[in-house]
Structures are given as structure tokens and as C-alpha cells.
Chain A
Amino acid sequence: MIISIASGKGGTGKTTVATNMAVSIGSDVQLLDCDVEAPNAHLFLNPVIEEEKSVFTPVPEIDEEKCTFCKKCAEICRFKAIAVIGEIVLTFPELCHSCGGCMEVCPENAVTEIGRNLGVIETGHKNNLHFVHGRLRIGEAMSPPLIREVRSYTRPDQLTIIDAPPGTSCPVIAAMKGTDFVLMVTEPTPFGLHDLKLAVEAVKLLGIPRGLVINRSDIGDNRVKEYAEKENLPILMEIPFDRKIAEAYSRGELIVEEMPGWKEKFLKLYDNIKEMAV
């Protein structure tokens, strides 16, 4: 089973929930940190990193000896990553979405693929927990290919927990798509509610069962709960705005390792998800 953890708004506690649930379960579980622009699950887990590899996405290179300047490659590219000007072919690798169309249509086989570095993937473990995260190269505009590469480490025989990036566009969709359950994390503030609504609409489009964790649940107002009720979005856990939790967080420590009773709560959360997931 694959559980993705998403929120819309940043800073609501996705990583807190993902890491604490993963550590509570402890074995036959993997955590994939797909927030590749700002990965930080490793700061809570302190995993032993065993392997690092660079990830590349294919972008075109034109052999001007073979090229007849027919413009077919430029015409098929919807991102205008190739321009043919007279007898000069310009490529704009940063615009390329790696569809391979230019290679496909070139009648002269003048297009080959070279790699554009997207970033790195690091894999390791914390005790029996398998850990994978991606780090997007600074300056890289496209994170979905790296997110998909992180997800390629999914072990079908284990529970996979995905820490998704915030937002509602391509990166978070790449992290949630095809998962069995989306656990949404929010806070009971106007900001948490606003972005939660957007995220819920995105998850609805994907047709994935979903549930809610309300973090810092005793601050703010009641509107998140009212919204959840109206949407039939079950509230699976509430984490209070507790000084001890905040202190553990501020030191990069896990709630389940610092405070009694929380491991059981996260295991119960997992049990509830198992019942609701497809």
C-alpha cells in the first residue's frame, strides 16, 4: 500500500506526520521524501545514507552535419526548446520536457539525447525503515521527473509512505498520483483551510480516498472541522499545540521517540487508513 501525505499549505506538519508514522510502524515500511525542492524528513530521521546517484533527463542535441534544417523538430516541440534559424539549430535545454518527439520526427536521425542534471537521489535506512529522498538541483525548473524517479524506489511488498511537496500543481500531483490513500495535514487557520480546500479539489480529481490530520488543533477556529464534515473528509488525528511537541520539533526530534502514547496514536492512524484505502 502507498500512502501519500499532502496539504496544500506548506508548514502544516506533513513531514512530522510522515516521519512519526513511518517510525511507529518501524519495519516493512519505506519513507519516500518527494518534497525534492526542500527535502527535510532526513532531519527527523537521521538515516544512514548508503547510496547517492545523479539523475538526468534527456534533452536534444542536434548533429548539424546530418541536419537538413527541415524544422520538423522545432514544429513538434510545444515548449519551443528547438529553433531552426536558416542553417543554425538552437536548443534550449531548460525548456525541454523530455518527450522525445524531436528524435521521433527527425528524418535524418540528427537528434540524439544528452542528459540535463535534475539533481540527486539518496537512499539509506534508519533501523528497518527504508529511506529515499531526492534533492533537486538548484536552478532546475522541473521537479516531477525527479519525483517520479524517487517513486521508482517503491517496494510493492512494503508499506510506502510518501511525503509530498506543498501546493496543488505538477509536483504534488506527481507525488500523489496512483497512491492508495492521501492523508491531508492542515492547521485550523484561515490559511490552512484555504489551501486545504484547493488540495482536496486536486485529490478529488485523482479519485483517491482521503482523510485529515489537524495539526495544532487547539488554536484557530472551527472552520476546518466544519469544512471536513461538509466534505465527508474524516478527521483521523488531531495533534494539539503542545509545548513539548513544539520543543521536540524545534530540536529535530520525533514525537513518538520523545513522548509516551504517541506511537500508539500513529499506529491507530495507520490502522484507520488501512480500512479506508482502496
Chain B
Amino acid sequence: MKIAVTSKGPDLDDQVDPRFGRAAYILIVDSETFDFEVLNNKENVNALKGAGIQAAGMVSDNGAEVLLTGFCGPNAFKTLNAAKIKVASDAKGTVRDAVTSFIEGKLTISDQANVEGQW
């Protein structure tokens, strides 16, 4: 299974970026092998609006089934939901920690956005 994790850097040992739409990077991690792809989210970091929608599209295009992040707004959540991507908004530590926690069932799948738009 492919897991998308928002990250402050391009590596598994970088810290989870709690922001979704405006995260520095999004890593797409294979839950079995821990092989990963790096998506540079540079364009979205300074987007006027709709960063979450755009990032959700990227995550979907790269085939992730789950997103691990910190904060997810309503438009991003709506888009992820349409793409049938599960969202856990309580990811912490490094990207590797977050994926491990998810595999161990320690993260919570959200049923709604956990912040307002434009937070």
C-alpha cells in the first residue's frame, strides 16, 4: 500500500510537516518495503488559495491510499474523500515514525477536516 506523508524534508528521517496543502514535501512511502518517492510541493507552499485541493490531487495522482499529516482543511478533505484516500491527522515525529505508527494501528483515521479553511 502506498502511504502519503507530509514532510519537512525529502527523506524518511525528516520530520512530518504538520501542514497538508502547504507542506514542503510529500513523500509517497511503500508500507512494506519503505521505498519512497519524493513530491516537491514548492508550488503549493505559496499558493494564493486552494493549496489543499492541489496537494490532494497530487496525492491521488500518485496512487496513495492513505495520507498521514497534521492539519487538513475542509476543501482538502473533500477532495481526498472523493479520491477515497483515508486521512490520519495525528502524525508526529519523522516520516518513518509516522508510517510505522500507522502500520501498528496507532494513528486515527479522521472522518472530517480538523481545521477551518485558510487556517
Q: List A residues at the B interface (Cβ < 8 Å).
A: 74, 77-81, 83-86, 88, 90, 92, 95
Contacts and interface: CB of A to CB of B under 8 A. Distances in A.
Contacts, number: 41
B49 A79 contact: yes
Given A85-B82, A88-B82, A90-B79, A80 B49 contact: yes
B15 interface: no
A78 B56 contact: no
A83 B79 contact: yes
Contacts of A80: 47, 49-51, 53-54
A92 B82 contact: no
B109 interface: no
Contacts of A78: 48
A80 B79 CA distance: 11
B57 A83 contact: yes
A71 to B, nearest CB: 8
Given A80-B54, A85-B82, A95-B75, 13 more contacts: A74-B57, A77-B50, A79-B49, A80-B49, A80-B50, A80-B51, A80-B53, A83-B53, A83-B79, A85-B79, A86-B83, A92-B75, A95-B49
A95 to B, nearest CB: 6
Contacts of B54: 80, 83
A74 to B, nearest CB: 7
Contacts of B60: 85-86
A83 B79 CA distance: 7
A90 B83 CA distance: 10
A95 B78 contact: no
A115 B54 CA distance: 24
Contacts of B75: 92, 95
A77 to B, nearest CB: 8
A86 B57 CA distance: 9
A88 to B, nearest CB: 5
Contacts of A84: 57
A81 B49 CA distance: 9
Q: Which of B56, B78, B79 has the most chain A CB atoms closer than 10 A to its own CB? A: B79
Contacts of A86: 60, 83
A90 B82 contact: yes
Contacts of B78: 90
Contacts of B82: 83, 85, 88, 90
A64 to B, nearest CB: 12
B57 A92 contact: no
B83 A81 contact: no
Contacts of B57: 74, 83-85
A79 B50 contact: yes
A96 to B, nearest CB: 10
Contacts of B49: 79-80, 95
Q: Which of A74, A78, A85, A95 has the most chain B CB atoms closer than 10 A to its own CB? A: A85
Interface in B78-108: 78-79, 82-83
16 contacts: A78-B48, A79-B50, A80-B50, A83-B56, A83-B57, A83-B82, A85-B56, A85-B79, A85-B83, A86-B83, A88-B82, A90-B78, A90-B79, A92-B75, A95-B49, A95-B75
Nearest to B21: A80
Contacts of B47: 80
Contacts of A85: 56-57, 60, 79, 82-83
Interface in B49-75: 49-51, 53-54, 56-57, 60, 75
B22 to A, nearest CB: 13
A197 B50 CA distance: 33
